[in-house]
Amino acid sequence: MSDTKKMKVTYEVAPGDFERAGEASSGIKRLLQRIGIPAEVIRRIAIGTYEAEMNVIIHAGGGIVTAEISPDSTVIIVSDKGPGIADIELAKQEGWSTAPDYVRQMGFGAGMGLPNMIKCSDKLDIVSVVNQGTQITMLFYHVDKESK
Amino acid sequence: MINLNQVCSKLDAKILLGEDQLDREVISACGADLMSDVLTFTKRKTLLLTGLTNIQVVRTAELSDLCAIVFVRGKLPGKDIIEAAKANDIPLLVTCYTLFEACGRLYEMGIKGCPHKVFADE
Ligand SMILES: Nc1ncnc2c1ncn2[C@@H]1O[C@H](COP(=O)(O)OP(=O)(O)OP(=O)(O)O)[C@@H](O)[C@H]1O
Ligand SMILES: [Mg+2]
């Protein structure tokens, strides 16, 4: 695959801006729709990105969402300079959450985000350093898993 | 086949948006106030019934390719929510039934839950 076929978009995610939360994921979804990726694949990318985008807004005071789109795969990188995750294995467990009550009232904070990112993506990497920040990298192959 | 129009009658619902989309097929539904669960467990084209009326509900429906949103307990969303749904082509209904009652009425019609069951260690 040639590099010229790769596309890269970057979104800044503002801290605490719940009105705009999801704009990056929405923009990436629209872009993928224009390229003609299967709907099931776009859905997994959109949901995985949204979970990571929400985390950056809720837990990390904002960050950056980048999508690198190739003909056969998309890589989503979500990074922040927030508090970091002390115990990544614990954070990956379903139900583990440090989200405050106001987040729960909005319908989030069930501790389902990281497990869902793992479920949606084909590969997920977390690099996190306490007091420095977190970077999540998700790889998605453009293969419709449902119709297989 | 059950469509949105039939859902609307069964719930005595008011259409806030998507009058021209009432022929959309409703295959399955999910009743939830927890968007974390909706994002994790639903499949494409699922109908969402919820008591929340914030912008995240519309975002969740948009990003998960849901069929439409039914607001329960007669709760009306704000103008900005309706605008966001319009931009994303998501029909909005509002019913005075409670979440349990509304879900029960739809189940009675033959609409099944999405998902049916969730196993903790899956
Ligand atoms: N970017 C981040 N920076 C710091 N901590 C994070 C970050 N992302 C996740 N965490 C920590 O990991 C926990 C689990 O994250 P996860 O996304 O699974 O659940 P949640 O965000 O709490 O709830 P949900 O995703 O269901 O809304 C969070 O509660 C938080 O403590
Ligand atoms: Mg989360």
How far, in Å, CA of B57 to CA of B38, rounded? Answer: 9
Q: Please judge whether B36 and A112 are an interchain contact, meaning their C-beta atoms are less than 8 angstroms apart.
A: yes
Distance from CA of B19 to the nearest CA of A (A): 24
Burial of A131 (0-12, 13-18, 19+ CB in 10 A): exposed
Of B115, B76, B69, B104, the closest CA to residue B90 belongs to B69
B42: left (phi over 0), alpha (psi -120 to 50) or beta: beta
Confidence check: pLDDT of A1 > 60: no
Of A8, A133, A4, the closest CA to residue A75 belongs to A8
Closest alpha carbon within chain B to A45: B63
Q: Find out whether A84 and A127 touch, Cβ atoms under 8 Å.
A: no
Q: Provide the strand spans (E) within chain A.
A: 7-13, 63-69, 73-80, 123-129, 133-141
Of A25, A40, A111, which is closest to B63 when you measure between CB atoms? Answer: A25
* Domains contained in chain B, number: 1
Tokens representing A58 are 């809720």
Q: What is the pLDDT along chain B (122 residues), one digit of tens a residue?
A: 999 999 999 999 999 999 999 999 999 999 999 999 999 999 999 999 999 999 999 999 999 999 999 999 999 999 999 999 999 999 999 999 999 999 999 999 999 998 888 887 64
* Helix or strand holding residue B73 (H, E): none
Task: Give the atom of ligand 1 at the shortest distance from the alpha carbon of A134.
Answer: 1
Q: Residue B73 — φ and ψ, nearest 5°?
A: 55, 25
Return the best residue to mutate from A13, A53, A55 for the ligand 1 pocket (most ligand atoms within 8 A of CB): A55
Inter-chain CB pairs, A–B, below 8 Å: 69
* Helix or strand holding residue B71 (H, E): strand B68-71
Half-sphere exposure in the Cβ direction for B71 (13 Å, CA):
23
CATH number at residue B104: 3.40.1390.20
Residue B84 lies in a domain: yes
Residues A75-130: tens digit of each pLDDT? 999 999 999 999 999 999 999 999 999 999 999 999 999 999 999 999 999 999 99
B57 touches chain A (CB under 8 A): yes
- The runs of H, that is alpha helices, within chain B are 4-10, 35-41, 55-63, 79-87, 99-109
Order of strands across the sheet that contains A133-141: A7-13, A63-69, A73-80, A133-141, A123-129
How far, in Å, CA of B29 to CA of B27, rounded? Answer: 7
Confidence check: pLDDT of A148 > 70: no
**Amino acid B121: pLDDT:** 61
Residue B49 lies in a domain: yes
Please report, for chain A, the start and end positions of each structural domain, with discontinuous segments joined by +: 8-142
Class of domain A8-142: alpha beta
* Ligand in closest contact with the CA of A100: 1
Confidence check: pLDDT of A67 > 70: yes
Quote the ligand 1 centre to B37 CA distance (angstroms).
14
Residue B122 lies in a domain: no
Q: Please judge whether B36 and A110 are an interchain contact, meaning their C-beta atoms are less than 8 angstroms apart.
A: yes
B83 touches chain A (CB under 8 A): no
Residues A11-45: tens digit of each pLDDT? 999 988 888 999 999 999 999 999 999 999 999 99
Of A22, A108, A119, which is closest to B36 when you measure between CB atoms? Answer: A108
How far, in Å, CA of A130 to CA of A41, rounded? Answer: 33
**Amino acid A4: pLDDT:** 62
Task: For residue B81, give its domain range.
Answer: 4-113
For ligand 1, residues with CB inside 6 Å are A 51, 55-56, 58-60, 80, 82-85, 91, 96-99, 108-114, 134; B 36
Q: Is the ipTM of this complex over 0.90?
A: yes
Of B57, B65, B80, which is closest to A107 when you measure between CB atoms? Answer: B57
pTM of the model: 0.95
Q: How far apart are the first and last CA of chain B?
A: 31
